[in-house]
């Protein structure tokens, strides 16, 4: 329980708006919708966000079949008893020319996913196309008055440089037209490397600038920032290292492609036990010192003031969201 005097310090959480509606997305797992065996595992998947995948995880020749399976899964899956916190659907991009066929097929399902996920958003104009396709096939009523959220992917040099305009156009669609609200942005590092002609490496220095710019831009708009995929499925130590780095830099989660990656990532995006204890004790110490009129004080040999309190509150709130 947080002391009452401390609650007024909470206006946001880890740089993310709307703390009350915070959906943890520490691990965001893709499940190719063309693979029924994998789809059948969705109810047990412990990832925070499970993504029914129609884009690059599905071969061109299997798109039609995947759309039908995804629509059936949306209606069949028992949302309230799923092990995950969110069931999303990643459709194809505007530039692929496949988006409209995706939406025609999945709009036949009665239920909407909890999040629509749209890759390769390259410019603000893409948003207009996306909105028009959704309006035409879902109708105005189904795309407003809903709890369905929007998640978009930034995957090219152009998109990274234009990210503030892309993000504000997406947020404006919600404000002005009531379209699904943008809740998180995902960095598509593999497409990004292809776009800029970089060679992927296990240490990832080729995306250092891009990831730091990306996370800064997400947090400037108080949105969740989801980090790159780690494609070496067998290298769990490398995955652990890159996840820890992402957490340190302010990312809120990471994309995963295999069930074995889920717990490794989730663990890294939750602070260790001693850090949680540190945060809890700091909050109480802050409350006591504040009552004595002290804004700065010494705690475990460190100078503590309000920014440290906010960091401690980030930790406490994340733990509460994940455990509830």
Ligand X SMILES: CC(C)(COP(=O)(O)OP(=O)(O)OC[C@H]1O[C@@H](n2cnc3c(N)ncnc32)[C@H](O)[C@@H]1OP(=O)(O)O)[C@@H](O)C(=O)NCCC(=O)NCCSC(=O)C[C@](C)(O)C(=O)O
Residues near ligand X, by CB under 6 A:
30-32, 37-38, 41, 53, 56-57, 119, 155, 188-191, 229, 255, 257-259
CB 38, min distance to ligand X, A: 4
From residue 146, how far is each of 77, 113, 128, 142, 314 by CA, in Å? 18, 10, 19, 7, 28
Nearer to ligand X, 121 or 318 (CB): 121
Confirm or deny that 191 is annotated as ligand binding: yes
From the list 137-145, 150-158, 170-178, 239-247, the region that binds Mg ion by CB under 5 A is 150-158
CB 64, min distance to ligand X, A: 17
189 binds, among ligand X, Mg ion, none (CB under 5 to 8 A by kind): ligand X
> Which among 18, 140, 232, 305 is annotated as catalytic?
305
Confirm or deny that 155 is annotated as ligand binding: yes
Nearer to ligand X, 30 or 278 (CB): 30
End-to-end CA distance of the chain: 14
Total residues interacting with Mg ion, rule: CB under 5 A: 3
Query: Which residue in 82, 260, 324, 170 sits closest to 74, CA to CA?
Result: 82
191 contributes a contact to Mg ion by CB under 5 A: yes
CB 95, min distance to Mg ion, A: 12
Nearer to ligand X, 262 or 316 (CB): 262
| CA 42/CA 268 separation, integer angstroms | 22
- Produce one character per residue of 161-170: b if its CB has 16 or more CB atoms within 10 Å, e if not: ebbeebbebb
The secondary structure of 186-222 as a DSSP string is EE-HHHHHHHHTPPP-SS-GGGHHHHHHHHHHHHHTT
Assigned token pair, 312: 């401690």
By the 8 A CB rule, do 179 and 134 touch?
yes
Nearer to ligand X, 35 or 287 (CB): 35
CB 301, min distance to Mg ion, A: 45
| CA 256/CA 71 separation, integer angstroms | 22
Q: Is 305 tagged catalytic?
A: yes
Confirm or deny that 90 is annotated as ligand binding: yes
Residue 117's SS3 state is strand
Residue numbers in the known binding site for substrate are 90, 155
Q: Which residues are catalytic?
A: 305
């Amino acid at each position: 329980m947080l002391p009452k005097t401390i609650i007024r310090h909470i206006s946001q959480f880890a740089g993310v708006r709307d703390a009350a509606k915070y959906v943890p997305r520490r691990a965001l797992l893709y499940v190719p919708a063309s693979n029924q065996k994998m789809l059948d595992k969705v109810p047990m998947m412990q990832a925070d966000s499970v993504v029914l995948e129609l884009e690059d995880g599905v071969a061109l020749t299997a798109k039609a079949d995947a759309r039908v399976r995804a629509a059936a899964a949306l209606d069949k899956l028992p949302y309230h008893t799923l092990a995950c916190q969110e069931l999303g659907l990643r459709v194809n991009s505007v530039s692929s020319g496949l988006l409209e066929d995706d939406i025609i097929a999945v709009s036949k399902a009665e239920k909407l996913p909890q999040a629509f996920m749209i890759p390769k958003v390259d410019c603000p104009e893409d948003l207009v196309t996306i909105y028009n396709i959704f309006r035409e096939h879902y109708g105005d009523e189904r795309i407003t008055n809903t709890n369905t959220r929007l998640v978009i992917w930034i995957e090219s040099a152009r998109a990274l440089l234009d990210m503030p305009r892309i993000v504000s156009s997406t947020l404006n669609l919600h404000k002005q037209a009531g379209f699904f609200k943008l809740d998180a942005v995902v960095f598509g590092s593999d497409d990004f490397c292809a776009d800029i002609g970089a060679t992927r490496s296990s240490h990832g220095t080729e995306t250092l600038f891009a990831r730091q710019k990306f996370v800064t831009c997400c947090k400037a708009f108080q949105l969740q920032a989801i980090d790159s995929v780690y494609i070496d499925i067998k290298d769990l130590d490398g995955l652990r290292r890159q996840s820890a780095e992402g957490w340190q830099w302010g990312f809120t989660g990471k994309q995963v492609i295999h069930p074995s990656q889920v717990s490794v990532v989730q663990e890294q995006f939750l602070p260790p036990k001693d850090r949680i204890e540190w945060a809890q004790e700091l909050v109480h110490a802050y409350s006591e010192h504040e009552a004595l009129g002290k804004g700065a004080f010494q705690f475990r040999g460190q100078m503590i003031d309000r920014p440290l309190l906010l960091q401690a509150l980030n930790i406490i709130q994340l733990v509460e969201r994940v455990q509830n």
